[in-house]
Amino acid sequence: MKIAQKLNGEVVFHVKGVTKTYQMGEVEVHALRGVDLNLYRGEFTVLLGASGSGKSTLLNILGGLDTPTTGQVLYGKQDLTLADEHALTEYRRYHVGFVFQFYNLIPSLTARENVAVVTEISKAPMTPEDALVLVGLGNRMDHFPAQLSGGEQQRVAIARAIAKNPDVLLCDEPTGALDSQTGIMVLEALQRVNESLGTTTAVITHNAGIAQMANRVIHLTDGLISDIHVNAQRVQPNQLSW
Amino acid sequence: MNALDKKLWRELWAMRLQALAIAMVIVSGVAIFIMSLSTLDSLTKTRDNYYRDNHFADVFATLKRAPLSLVPRIEKIPGVDKVETRVLAYINLDVADFNDPISGHLISLPDNNSRGLLNQVHLRSGRLFEPGRDNEVLLSDEFVKAHELKAGDKIFATINGRRKALTVVGTALSPEYIYQIAPGAMFPDYQRYGVLWMARTPLASAYDMKGAFNNISLTLSKGAHSEDVIDRLDDILRPYGSIGAIARKDQLSNRFLTEELKQQNTIATVFPIIFFSVAAFLLNVVISRLISLEREQIATLKAFGYSNLSIGLHYIKLVLMIVSIGIIIGIGAGTWMGIGMSNIYMHFYSLPYMIYTLKPQVIFFAAFISVLVAILGTLFAVYKAAKLAPAQGMRAEQPTIYHTTVIERLGLQRFFSQPSRMILRNIERRPFKSLLTTLGISMACGIMMVGGFQEGAINQMIDVQYNMSQREDIIALYAEPTSQKSLYSLRNLQGVEYVEGFRNVSAKLSFEHRSYRTSVNGIPQSSQLMRLLNTDLKEIDLPEKGVILTDYLAELLHIKPGDMLTIEVLEGQRTTLQVPVIGTAKQYLGANVYLQQKMLNRLLKEGSIISGALLKVDERDQSLVYNKLKEMPRIAGVIEQRSAIKGFYETMNESILFFTFISTLLGGSIAFGVVYNSMRIALSERNRELASLRVLGFHRSEIAYILLGEQFLLTLVAIPLGFLIGYGLCAYLASQFESDLYRIPLVLSPQVYSFAALVVIASSLISAIMIWRNLAHLDMVAALKAKE
Ligand SMILES: Nc1ncnc2c1ncn2[C@@H]1O[C@H](COP(=O)(O)OP(=O)(O)OP(=O)(O)O)[C@@H](O)[C@H]1O
Ligand SMILES: [Mg+2]
C-alpha cells in the first residue's frame, strides 16, 4: 500500500478474478486462472513469468485487445468486460498505446507515416515529428521500416505508441528482439515517457534484469500472480545488468 | 492524404502488375458490355430514326395487279393511316463491262418530284427526277459503288421483255432495303442485285400498270393492330393475286436487323458474366492473400483503435482502385470497340448514317456491375479482415496442414520426385482454389474459341447449303409459271451441262395452332442440283407422296414425320392441301417445304408446269449463257449465288478479323490475369519455403519447377476443360442466334481448338517468364530472417 500512497493511490486498472480459457479443439487451455491486480496511475510495472504463463494474455486484456472468460477489469470507472466492440475500439483509440515484440510497423509507410497512422485518429496527439524526436529518431523520419535497424524500428513503434499521449502504455517484450545496447535505448525511451508524461506503463519481459527499473514487478506463474515485488530503489536503464 | 491512404497507394504500386492483370479482365468485361450495348443502342436508334424520318410503312403487300380505284376501300379499313401504292418490277439489268447477270427491283416514286409518301428514299447524291424525262433512275448507293457508276451513266433494264436505257441521276438508300438481298438469296451481292427507283408514269407504262398498282404499303393509326388490318387488307387484295400482306416485323430487311439486335443483346449478357466472374475470383484470391499477409498490420491498427469499419473500408478502397482502373480503361476500349462495330454494321447494312449512341446509363450500369461484383467477390475476405480479433492477429498463423495426396495413398509416390510431390500436395491442399484457377483458365480458352467459331460456322453453312445441297450455277426465275417444255431451249444453250425445272408457290403452312409462311418447292424426284440432306449430310430421296421439311421448320411447327401438314396455297386457285410429313432435311438457311414437282403439279391441279430452272454451266461459257438468258423474255431474273458468297466473304473478312482480334485480346487477358496472379500468389505464399530450398542448394530452375509446375499442371488440365466450355459456349450462342432465317452450325475446326490452346499456353509462358525474373531476386537472407 506504500506504493499506492506514493502514487496518489489512484487506481487505473482494477483486475478482479480474471480467467481466460482457450478452447483448442478437445482441450481447454487455461491461460489465466484468476488474476487479481491493481495498477496505479503513473506507475511503471514489469511483468515477469515463464513462457506460457499468461503475460501476453493479461496485457491484451488490459489493452482491450481481448476479453476475459470470467472476472472483471475496470479501467477507472469503465468496466472493460462489459464493453462492446465499439466501446473497446474507442478505448484503445483514446487511452492505450501498444508496443509489440516484433514492432509491427506497417512496411509500406515511413517512420513518420507509421506514427501519423495513430495521431490521425487521436484527440490531442503530439506531432509525429515530436514523438520521433522524443525517441531519438529525429533524423530517420522518412525511412521505411526495412531501412531501419531493429532498435530503430522498435523506437518508431514506441513513438507511435506514445504519440497520442496515451493514459496507459502496454509493451509486450519490447526488447525481446534487441541486443543489450539497443534494448537500453528503447527502455530509456520508455522511461522518459513514463516520467515526463506520467503514463501508466506495463512492460512484459523475459529479462529479469529489466525488472530493476520498475516501480513494481509482478510475477506470473501458470496463469496466476505468484509474487508482487516493490523496488525500493529504481535503477536507471543504462545501469541495468542485462 | 492520410497515412492509411498512402499505404494503399504504395501497396497498389507494389502489386501493380497483378492489379493491372485483374483490371484487364474488368476492362474486357466492361468493354464488351459497353461495346455490345452501345452497338445495340446505336443500331436501334439509327433504325428507329431512319424508320420514323423516312416513314417506313407498317404493313406491306405485293399482288399481281389491282386498279387504283381500290385504294379508297383500303383507306377506309379501320386503323389505316396513310396508304401508298406503287409499281414494283423485278427486272434484269445490264451494266457496261459487267457480264454476270444482274437482277434488281425497280420501284416507282411519285411523279411530282417527291421521295415518296412512305418508305421514303434517302437521297445520298444527285437529284430526283425531272418531269418529262421518262428514263431517269435513282440507284441504290451500294450498287453504284459496286459498279463505280456516276450520275449521267447509262444502264439497261429489261422490263417486261423490253430493253430500256436508263440514265442514273442519283443514288439513294431506303429503309425497306437496309439488308439488301435478291429474292431467294441469302447474302447481299451489291454487284448482282440492285434496287432502283423510277418515276411512276414511265414505269407504269413500261410495266403495263397504267391506272394500276402491284405493291402497297400503309401505316397504321395509333393503337391499331396490324393483324386486324392485314386480315381486312387480305380480304380486299386476294382477288388481285396477293399472297398476303405482312407486318413490319416480318419484312425481310427488318427481320435481319432484328436478329442482329437480338445477337448483340446475347453478347451483352453472356460475355460480361464470364469476365466479371473471373474478375471477382481474381480479386478474391489476391485480396485474400493480401489480407492474410497483413494480418498483423490489421491487428496493430486495431490495437491502436481503428474500427472494424475503417479496416474493412481500407481494403474495399483497394478493390475499388483496381476496379476503377478497369472501368476507366474499359469505358474507353468499349467505346472504341462500339464505334468500330457500329461502323462495320453501317457498311454491312445499308444505313444512311449511324447515330453512335452511348447512353450514360450503360456506362453507369457497367461501372455499377463491376463495383458490385468486385465487392461481392472480396466481401468475405474483407469481412474476415474487419472482424479479425486483434489479439488473434498478433499470433502467427498456424502452419498449414498438409496431407499425403491420393497418389501417395495409392502408393504411386515412387513415380514422382520430391518436388513433384510438393506440387501435387499443394494442389490437393486447396482443391477448391485449384479448381477455380483451372476454371478461370478454361474460361479464357473457351472465349478464344468463340472468336474462331464464327468463321468455321459460316464456312460450314455455305458448304452444306451451296456445295452439297444446292449445286446449280445459275437459277433462272420465270416471270410466269411455264410449261416444263421450256427447259429444252435452256438445255440447248451452248455451255449448259444440265438443267432441271422446279415449281414453287407461296403458301401458309399450318399444324395445330401454329403456322408459318414460306414457299413450297417442287423439285425433280432424283434432283441432281437440289439435294436434300439428312443430319449426317447424306442425301435423302424425295418420297412419292408427302413432303420433306427443313428441320428447323418442323421444330417451329412442332410437326413430326407421320403428321399431316396443312398447306394453304397463296397463289392461283388458292387451294388448301393436306399432306403427310415424311421427313426433315438439314438446312442452315431458310425454312422450306420440299416435295416432288410432279406431285406439286398434281396437287395444284395443273399440268407439268415450272416456276424456273436450275442450270449447271460450263465455267468457260458462263457469260455466253448469261447473255442468252438475258434475251429470253420469260426469264425475269437470274441468280448466281457463288459470286454473292465470294462478295459476302470479302465483307465478312473485315469483321471476322476485328472479332478475332478482340476475342484474342479478351481471352488473353483472362488467361494472363488468372495465371499471372495465381503464380504471384503462389510465390508470395511460398517465398520462405522456396528461399530455404535455395539455401539448401536447389537451383533456380528447380524451385521454378516446384512453383511453376503447379500452374502448368493446372493449365494443362484447363485446356481440355476449356475446349468443353468453349464448345458449350458456342453451342449456346448458336442456339441463341438461330432463327428461321438462318441457323449457325456448330463446327469447330482443329485450328479453333489449337489457336485457343496456343493463346492460353502463351499467356502462361509470359507469366512464367515474369515470375522467373522474380525468382532471381528471391532474397534468401531476408526471407529467412523475416517472420511470417
Ligand atoms: N489464441 C489462443 N488460442 C489458444 N491458446 C492460446 C491462445 N493465446 C494464448 N494461448 C495459450 O495461453 C497460454 C498463455 O499464453 P500467453 O501468450 O499469454 O503466454 P506468455 O506468458 O505471453 O508467453 P511468452 O512469454 O511465450 O510470450 C499459453 O499456453 C498459450 O499457448
Ligand atoms: Mg507473450
**Tens-digit pLDDT profile for residues B594-612:** 999 999 999 999 999 999 9
Q: How far apart are CA B684 and CA B628, in angstroms?
A: 79
Residue for grid cell 416485323: B249
Is A223 near ligand 1, meaning CB less than 6 Å away? no
pLDDT tens-digit series, residues B664-686? 888 888 888 888 888 888 888 88
Q: How far apart are CA B51 and CA B54, in angstroms?
A: 5
Please report the pLDDT score of residue B788 as a whole number. 41
Please report the pLDDT score of residue B334 as a whole number. 93
Are B593 and B553 contacting, i.e. CB atoms less than 8 angstroms apart?
yes
Q: Which of A52-56, B278-282, B293-297 reaches the highest mean pLDDT? A: A52-56
Residue ranges of alpha helices (H) inside B401-430 are: 406-409, 418-429
Q: How confident is the model at residue A1 (pLDDT cuts 50, 70, 90)?
A: very low
Residue A2 pLDDT exceeds 60: no
For B348-383, give the DSSP string: HTT-S-------HHHHHHHHHHHHHHHHHHHHHHHH
Q: How far is A128 from chain B (nearest CA, A)?
A: 11
Rounded to the nearest integer, the mean pLDDT of chain A is 88
Are B90 and B636 contacting, i.e. CB atoms less than 8 angstroms apart?
yes
Q: How far apart are CA B786 and CA B775, in angstroms?
A: 17
Is A237 near ligand 1, meaning CB less than 6 Å away? no
Domain finish residue from B617, B639, B661: B639
Please report the pLDDT score of residue A4 as a whole number. 47
Domain finish residue from B574, B606, B639: B639
Residues B199 and B52 in one domain: no
Contact: B11, A108; criterion CB under 8 Å: yes
Q: Please check whether residue B80 lies inside any domain of the structure.
A: no
Q: Which residues of A touch B4 (CB under 8 A)?
A: 117, 120
Please report the pLDDT score of residue B236 as a whole number. 94
Residue type, B564: M
Q: Please check whether residue B82 lies inside any domain of the structure.
A: no
Domain that holds residue B97: 88-204
Which atom belonging to ligand 1 lies closest to the Cα atom of A60? 18
The CA distances from residue A228 to A3, A214, A231, in Å, are 12, 12, 10
Which atom belonging to ligand 1 lies closest to the Cα atom of A20? 12
Residues B658 and B780 in one domain: yes
Q: How confident is the model at residue B397 (pLDDT cuts 50, 70, 90)?
A: low
Cell of B782: 531476408
Cell of B21: 492483370
The CA distances from residue B90 to B115, B176, B342, B431, in Å, are 20, 15, 32, 67
Please report the pLDDT score of residue B178 as a whole number. 92
Residue for grid cell 443514288: B171
Q: Which residues of B touch A122 (CB under 8 A)?
A: 305
Whether the CA torsion B383, B388, B393, B397 is positive or negative: it is: negative
Q: Which residues of B touch A109 (CB under 8 A)?
A: 3, 6-7, 10
Phi, psi of B587 (to 5 degrees): -145, 140
Please report the pLDDT score of residue A43 as a whole number. 94
Neighbours of B784 (CB within 10 A): 12
Cell of B373: 461484383
Q: Please check whether residue B20 lies inside any domain of the structure.
A: yes
- Rounded (to 5) percent helix, strand, coil in chain B: 55, 20, 25
Domain count, chain B: 4
Q: Which residues contact B414 (CB under 8 A, 6 or more apart)?
A: none
Residues B298 and B379 in one domain: yes
Are B161 and B36 contacting, i.e. CB atoms less than 8 angstroms apart?
no
Mutate to test the interface with A, among B2, B304, B311 (most CBs of A within 10 A): B304
Please report the pLDDT score of residue B412 as a whole number. 67
Taken as a whole, chain A contains a residue count of 242
Q: How far apart are CA A185 and CA A69, in angstroms?
A: 37
Which DSSP state fits A16?
A: E
For residue A123, what is the nearest residue in chain B, using CA coordinates?
Answer: B305
Taking the alpha carbons at both ends of chain B, their separation in whole angstroms is: 29
CB pairs under 8 A between A and B: 85
Please report the pLDDT score of residue B411 as a whole number. 67
Q: Which residues contact B44 (CB under 8 A, 6 or more apart)?
A: B261, B357
Domains annotated on chain A, with CATH: 2-239 (3.40.50.300)
Q: Percentage of residues in chain B with pLDDT exceeding 70?
A: 95
What 3-state DSSP class applies to B162?
strand
pLDDT tens-digit series, residues B687-716? 877 877 777 777 888 888 888 888 888 898
Residues B576 and B657 in one domain: no
Burial class (CB in 10 A: 0-12, 13-18, 19+), A187: buried
Half-sphere exposure of B409 (CA within 13 A, CB side): 6
Residues B604 and B517 in one domain: yes
Residues B192 and B265 in one domain: no
Which atom belonging to ligand 1 lies closest to the Cα atom of A57? 18
Over range B398-422, report the average pLDDT: 66
A66, A94, A164 member nearest B391 (Cβ) = A66
Q: Which residues of B touch A85 (CB under 8 A)?
A: 308
Q: Please check whether residue B116 lies inside any domain of the structure.
A: yes
Are B106 and B88 contacting, i.e. CB atoms less than 8 angstroms apart?
yes
Residues B592 and B633 in one domain: yes
Cell of A47: 511483468
Q: Please check whether residue B15 lies inside any domain of the structure.
A: yes
Residues B496 and B559 in one domain: yes
Q: Which residues of A touch B10 (CB under 8 A)?
A: 108-109
Residues B573 and B656 in one domain: no
Residues B33 and B121 in one domain: no
Q: How far apart are CA B555 and CA B566, in angstroms?
A: 15
Rounded to the nearest integer, the mean pLDDT of chain B is 87
pLDDT tens-digit series, residues A5-46? 455 578 999 999 999 999 887 889 999 999 999 999 999 999
CA of A63 to the centre of ligand 1 (A): 16
Rg (CA), chain A: 17
Residues B3 and B48 in one domain: yes
Q: How many contiguous H segments (helices) and E segments (strands) does chain B have?
A: 23, 22
Pairing of strands B154-159, B88-94: antiparallel
Residues B534 and B621 in one domain: yes
Q: How far is B394 from chain A (nearest CA, A)?
A: 9
pLDDT tens-digit series, residues A84-139? 888 988 898 899 998 887 788 888 889 999 999 889 888 889 999 999 988 888 99
Whether the CA torsion B319, B320, B324, B325 is positive or negative: it is: negative
- Rounded (to 5) percent helix, strand, coil in chain A: 35, 30, 35
Over range A147-156, report the average pLDDT: 89
CA of B772 to the centre of ligand 2 (A): 39
Q: Please check whether residue B234 lies inside any domain of the structure.
A: no
Q: Please check whether residue B231 lies inside any domain of the structure.
A: no
Specify the residue with its C-alpha closest to ligand 1, atom 11.
A31
Q: Please check whether residue B62 lies inside any domain of the structure.
A: no
Domain finish residue from B593, B623, B639: B639
**Position with higher pLDDT, B400 vs B589:** B589
Phi, psi of B82 (to 5 degrees): -115, 150
Is A50 near ligand 1, meaning CB less than 6 Å away? no
